[in-house]
Amino acid sequence: MARLYHIGFGPEDLGSPPPTLALLSGDPHRAAQIAHTRLTQVRALSENRGLNSYLGLLPNGRPVLSATSGMGAPSLSIVVNELVQVGIRTIIRVGTCGSIQESLTLGSVAISKAALCRQGAANDIAPPEYPASADPFLTVALVEAAQRLGIPYALGITASVDTFYEGQERTDSANPHLLRFLQGITEEYRRLGVINYEMEAGTLFKMGNVYGFAAACICGVIAQRTKAEKPILEAKDQAVQRAVEVALAVAERFA
């Protein structure tokens, strides 16, 4: 197989034994940081289109990818499709999110067991009523790792939406005039027990179930939507590092 168009590498670039697990970050800087600070024998596979991908070894010597999905479900759907084509069979999304529950605090991590999936890309994978559910074994492993590491977490249902501003009911933006169905939607989701907003997990989960790979998601909490709309940058480093710690602990078990 030749190198794939978007991710910029193919199976022949992955060595032997090839990795079967990918840690997937929306931010190319996070993908690079995971690779260069947490893996050994790191090799850049591609920085094509900003979709940076790195191959390295976990502490147990197993190979793993640290890859970039880009922002949002359309970009993620392309990257994930091509990762599966090159042999990846387990994907853990390591992202950031906004909490909509007071008990899920800044700097903690949210582990998604399923998603309320309001994403157009996902509808091209499976119909809207198809469940967007995470792999249960990976998800339980994330919970166990967070407990073992003493990292504060919540397990619950994530709202995966296509837009950062309107779709997450933000009015402090260039467009303060939300459509009627979005006005009050955060409180509605809160009453339904949804714990957080993010922009990729629902499509990832549907792809996992349709394509036949294991998918999970852990996000550092960088916004507390019960108090303010904007992310708190001072909380980001701790939140992301905690999510990375948990994801890496699980990767060592499943890679």
- Active site (catalytic) residues: 6, 82, 170, 225
Residue spans of beta strands (DSSP E) within the chain? 21-25, 40-46, 53-57, 63-68, 90-99, 109-118, 153-161, 194-198, 214-224
Residues 6+ apart with CB under 8 A from 35: 42, 54, 56, 66
Beta carbons within 8 Å of 37's beta carbon, 6+ residues apart: none
- In angstroms, the CA 5 to CA 195 distance is 36
Q: What six digits make up the tokens of 212?
A: 């036949």
Strands 21-25 and 90-99: parallel
**Nearest CA among 202, 242, 203, 204 for reference residue 222:** 242
